[in-house]
Amino acid sequence: MKHIELMIFDLDGTLVNSGGDIVASVNYTLKTLDIRTKSQEEILTFVGDGVDKMIERALGKDFQHLFDRAMEIFSDYYARHMLDTTCLCDYVIEVLDHFHEKKKFIITNKRKYFTVKMTDALGISKYFEEIIGADSTAYKKPDPRLFIPLLERVNAVYNDTVMIGDGINDIMLAKNTGVLSCALLNGLTRRDILLGLEPDYACEGLRELIKIFD
């Protein structure tokens, strides 16, 4: 087992099953704009780089002129429906309780307002020392400038710090910063894509963290 002092978690697809509400909100936006809706599989490939990029990708090159309106529609709808079907991933509470002595943070490319609203509603905000959203700093994952000030502030040992997530940006943030990476293979990103990034660790679900780290 690897000794760890600091655990950084992604949100969507890692701690919460939120894909359904994201897909519904994107398709509502497209339908309102009279644009053909897309499959869940396609929309989920748009997730990970923040809402701006997601909407940009959903609109496609032919409808970029509708970007501002699309952002308004999505933000309003998602604010009201972000918890329609979203729930905690399996074993989240068990895992967070198990690592109660470790410092834990959330770093997500989701806007902080939506993130905290979600973690408050699902009862997990209390487990984290801080929640860092896309609008918390000038930088987003996988930019190490997002991460390094936090590591310095808590006097982190890089080799005792792990970034846990189901997205490309989670693994790349760890690699760009020099901390350990742990890919969660049952989230929103295809497992072959994540394994192709050669993370330091990979697990089929959150509960496996208990066997990997102490």
What is the per-residue pLDDT across 121-170, written as a single tens digit (0 to 9) for each? Answer: 999 999 999 999 999 999 999 999 999 999 999 999 999 999 999 999 99
Beta strands in the chain (DSSP E): 6-9, 16-17, 87-88, 103-107, 130-132, 161-165, 180-184, 201-203
Spans of the chain, pLDDT less than 50:
none
pLDDT score, position 97: 98
pLDDT of residue 146: 93
The answer to whether residues 28 and 55 touch, using CB atoms and an 8 Å cutoff, is no
d(CA 85, CA 71): 21
- Report CA dihedral (108, 43, 182, 84) to the nearest 10 degrees: 60
Instruction: State the pLDDT at residue 32.
Output: 98
pTM above 0.75, yes or no: yes
Q: What structural domains does the chain harbor?
A: 6-17+86-212 (3.40.50.1000), 19-81 (1.10.150)
Strand-pairing partners, residue 162, are 7, 180
Count of Cβ atoms closer than 10 Å to residue 123 Cβ: 11
Helix axes 168-177, 144-153, angle to 10 degrees: 60
